[in-house]
């Protein structure tokens, strides 16, 4: 009997949405810290935001083990870059390009890394925010989101994001979207992290919770305006 | 020989059956491309919307890529494949320049693109291409392709999700005599550059009305003997 080639794979432990926005001084990324095993919230302290070098941050949704493999690859890339000691460092654009190639080439081999990645950074004053999916589709924009964030957060970004927001405005916007995701995405939990990259460096916050209000009028009678829906 | 069992196969099942795959290596990120060839110019245009399923990923992604001084490639379809194809052609063009000490002509690039696409005949680039530029005589040329490299030079073309809305309009406005009628008529349009650009703007505005994947903005690139210039026109964002 010959061997059967696996062309299908399933994710096991997954992370939900990652959000990213550009603001005046740099980039902000946000995600929750849940690692779901199907419909069970198995892990509640998964770090889905990572620093890469000292001018880039990476967030991932999808299979957590694949994200860990990616961070290993990037660590090797950054180390090699550092060892050149040539006065130049890989910037967010270069790292995004590298990840695009990695994801696309894995897709070509029918063995994808099951992640949607958000990559943001700032180099020589130039801000960069991009996204790449598990099959290699990539782009850059002023605001990005993966998974459910595309449906729930992007419309809010399109309405409320503006050029050169302050850090407070940016954080407020992300917190609003994280809250919406917690209300509406069943694989989200009320435990979040935010990552901030500016010319001055990278900070990743300790996990925090947001104030939730289940007594909102809209939750009380959700089908009020649309009889027959649920 | 090693045996790997896929989840749903039984021992007696034929080895060629596959379980339902959980993912597809392809996606259609939408968009429309158009090109029109004139006497001494070529207009290449594409919208700037990138979508997936029913979501918009970004409203300003360029589908147009200038490969050589005189050729511009517009592609719609699966963005990851398109980007890989553009990089592939860029690399090949760099090698050509090193070997021949000159840039590739548009007809030469047209052939290279066809060969590159057919090379992946059994795992195609999901890219629907329109190549526009100036030929060796400085006349406008437009080449349009299917996903596996079949191509034809013509006076105008469109590809992508809005192709079926736009092509009939171009046929009506630009149609020249059949290439089967002798003596052979020129396929380039007698329209002026300005009129051609105006026509392109109208066709995109129309396509954006009915094609959900076309909209946001249309990027128009015009090549003529002076060089390359770009225009950007807003489209409906719904």
3-class secondary structure per residue, chain A: CCCCCCCCCCCCEEECCEEEEEECCEEEEEEECCEEECCEEEECCCCCEEEECCCEEEEEEEEHHHHHHHHHHHHHHHHHHHHHCCCCCCCHHHHHHHHHHHHHHHHHCCCCCCEEEEEEEEECCEEEEEEECCCCCEEECCEEECCHHHHHCHHHHHHHCCCCCCHHHHHHHHHHHHHHHHHHCCCCCCCEEEEEEECCEEEECCCECCCCCCCCHHHHCCCCCCCCCC
Residue B56: list chain A partners with CB under 8 A: 154
Q: What's the Cα-to-Cα distance from B38 to each of A55, B141, B180, rounded to whole Å?
A: 48, 8, 20
For position B14, what pLDDT does the model report? 53
Query: Would the pLDDT of B10 be above 70?
Result: no
Q: What is the ipTM of this complex?
A: 0.92
Q: Is the pLDDT of residue A149 over 70?
A: yes
Interface touch B80/A107, C-beta < 8 Å? yes
Nearest chain A Cα distance for residue B42, angstroms: 28
CA nearest to A131, candidates A157, A150, A112: A150
Contacts of B9 in chain A (CB under 8 A): 4
Contact list, B52 vs chain A (CB under 8 Å) = 133, 137
**pLDDT above 90: percentage of residues in chain B:** 84
Of B3, B19, B80, the CB nearest to A137: B80
Q: Which residues of B touch A136 (CB under 8 A)?
A: 80, 83-84
Per-residue model confidence (pLDDT) at position B5: 43
CB-CB contact of A45 with A98 (8 Å)? no
Kindly list the residues from chain B whose CB atom is less than 8 angstroms away from the CB atom of residue A141.
57-58, 60
| Chain B residues contacting A via beta carbons under 8 Å | 1-7, 9, 15, 18-27, 29, 50, 52, 55-58, 60-61, 78-80, 83-84, 123
Q: Please state, in angstroms and rounded to a whole number, the distance separating the CA atoms of residues B105 and B71.
A: 8
Q: Spell out which residues of chain A touch residue B15, defining contact as CB-CB under 8 Å.
A: 1-2, 4
Shortest alpha-carbon distance between residue B82 and chain A (Å):
10
Mean pLDDT of B129-136: 97
CA separation for the pair B3, A227 (Å, rounded): 55
Backbone angles phi, psi at A103, to 5 degrees: -65, -40
Q: What is the mean pLDDT of chain B?
A: 92
Which CA distances in Å does B186 have to B38, B183, B194? Answer: 10, 10, 20
How do residues B162-179 score in pLDDT, each as one tens digit? 999 999 999 999 987 777
Condensed to tens digits (0 to 9), the pLDDT of residues A85-141 reads 999 999 999 999 999 999 999 999 999 999 999 999 999 999 999 999 999 999 999
Closest residue in A to B237 (Cα–Cα): A158
pLDDT classification of B17: cutoffs 50, 70, 90: low
CA-nearest residue of chain B to A141? B58
pLDDT > 50? residue B8: no
How far apart are the C-alpha atoms of A31 and A181, rounded to whole Å?
10
The CA distance from B231 to B220, in Å, is: 5
Q: Which residues of B touch A146 (CB under 8 A)?
A: none
Question: Phi, psi (5° rounding) for residue A97?
Answer: -60, -45
Mean pLDDT of chain A: 94
**Which of A8, A104, A114 is opposite residue B80, by nearest beta carbon?**
A104
Given an 8 Å threshold on Cβ–Cβ distance, is B15 in contact with A2?
Answer: yes
Asked if residue A8 has pLDDT above 90, the reply is: no
Contacts of B200 (CB under 8 A, 6+ apart): B34, B36, B43, B45, B218, B220
**Could you tell me the CA-to-CA distances from A116 to A95, A130, A162, B204 in Å, in that order?**
15, 11, 25, 32
The residue among B83 and A218 whose pLDDT is bigger is B83
pLDDT above 70 as % of chain B = 92
pLDDT at B12 over 60: no
How does pLDDT run across B30-69, given as a tens digit for each residue? 999 999 999 999 999 999 999 999 999 999 999 999 999 9
Q: Which residues of A touch B25 (CB under 8 A)?
A: 107-108, 110, 135
What average pLDDT does the segment A33-55 reach?
96
Chain B: give the shortest CA distance to residue A134, in Å: 9
Residue A34 burial (CB count, 10 A):
23
Q: Which candidate from A6, A107, A110 shows the least CB-CB separation from B4?
A: A6
Q: Kindly report the nearest CA distance between residue A156 and chain B, in angstroms.
A: 13
Of A174-178, B8-12, B146-150, give the lowest mean pLDDT range: B8-12
A134 to B23: CB separation less than 8 angstroms, yes or no: yes
Query: Which residue, among B22, B54, B58, B59, would best test binding to A if mutated, counting the most A CBs under 10 Å from its CB?
Result: B58
Tokens of A9: 């794979």
* pLDDT for the residue A1: 46
Question: Per-residue pLDDT for B125 more than 60?
Answer: yes
- B127 contacts in chain A (CB < 8 Å): none
| Per-residue pLDDT reduced to its tens digit, B63-120 | 999 999 999 999 999 999 999 999 999 999 999 999 999 999 999 999 999 999 999 9
pTM assigned to the model:
0.92
CA angle B168, B126, B53 (to 5 degrees): 80
Which residue from A131, A178, A116, A109 is spatially nearest to A27, judged by alpha carbons?
A: A131
pLDDT of residue B207: 98
Which two structure tokens, joined as six digits, stand for B87?
């990089």
Q: Across the interface, do B2 and A1 touch by the CB < 8 Å criterion? A: no
Model pLDDT, residue A222: 79
pLDDT of residue B20: 74
pLDDT-wise least confident of A174-178, A195-199, B17-21: B17-21
Whether pLDDT at B15 is above 70:
no
């Amino acid at each position: 009997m010959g061997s059967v080639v696996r062309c299908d794979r399933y994710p096991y432990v997954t992370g939900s949405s990652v959000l990213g926005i550009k603001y005046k001084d740099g980039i902000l990324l946000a995600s929750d810290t849940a690692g779901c095993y199907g419909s069970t919230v198995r892990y509640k302290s998964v770090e889905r935001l990572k620093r890469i070098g000292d001018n880039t941050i990476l967030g991932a949704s999808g299979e957590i083990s694949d994200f860990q493999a990616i961070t290993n690859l990037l660590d090797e890339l950054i180390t090699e870059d550092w060892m050149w000691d040539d006065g130049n460092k890989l910037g967010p654009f270069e790292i995004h390009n590298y990840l695009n190639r990695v994801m696309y080439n894995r897709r070509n081999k029918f063995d994808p890394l099951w992640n949607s990645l958000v990559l943001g950074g700032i180099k020589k004053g130039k801000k960069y925010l991009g996204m790449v999916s598990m099959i290699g589709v990539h782009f850059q924009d002023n605001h990005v989101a993966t998974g459910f964030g595309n449906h729930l957060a992007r419309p809010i970004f399109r309405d409320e994001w503006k050029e050169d927001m302050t850090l407070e405005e940016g954080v407020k916007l992300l917190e609003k979207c994280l809250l919406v995701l917690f209300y509406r995405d069943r694989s989200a939990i009320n435990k979040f992290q935010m990552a901030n990259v500016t010319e001055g460096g990278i900070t990743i916050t300790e996990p925090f919770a947001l104030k939730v209000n289940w007594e909102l009028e809209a939750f009380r009678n959700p089908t009020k305006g649309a009889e027959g829906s649920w | 020989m090693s045996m790997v069992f896929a989840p749903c196969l039984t021992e007696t099942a034929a080895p060629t059956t596959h379980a339902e795959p959980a993912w597809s290596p392809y996606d259609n990120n939408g968009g429309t491309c158009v090109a029109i060839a004139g006497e001494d110019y070529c207009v290449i245009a594409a919208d700037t919307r990138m979508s997936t399923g029913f979501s918009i990923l970004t409203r300003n992604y360029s589908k147009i890529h200038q490969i050589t001084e005189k050729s511009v490639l517009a592609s719609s379809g699966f963005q990851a494949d398109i980007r890989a194809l553009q990089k592939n052609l860029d690399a090949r063009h760099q090698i050509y320049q090193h070997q021949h000490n000159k840039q590739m002509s548009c007809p030469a690039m047209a052939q290279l693109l066809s060969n590159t696409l057919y090379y992946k005949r059994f795992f195609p680039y999901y890219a629907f291409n329109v190549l526009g530029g100036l030929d060796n005589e400085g006349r406008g040329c437009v080449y349009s392709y299917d996903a596996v490299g079949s191509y034809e030079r013509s006076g105008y073309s469109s590809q992508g999700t809005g192709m079926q809305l736009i092509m009939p309009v171009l046929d009506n406005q630009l149609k020249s005599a059949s290439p089967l009628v002798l003596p052979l008529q020129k396929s380039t349009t007698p329209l002026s550059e300005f009129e051609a650009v105006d026509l392109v703007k109208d066709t995109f505005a129309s396509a954006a009305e009915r094609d959900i994947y076309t909209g946001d903005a249309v990027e128009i690139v015009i090549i003529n003997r002076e060089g390359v210039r770009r225009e950007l026109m807003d489209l409906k964002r719904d």
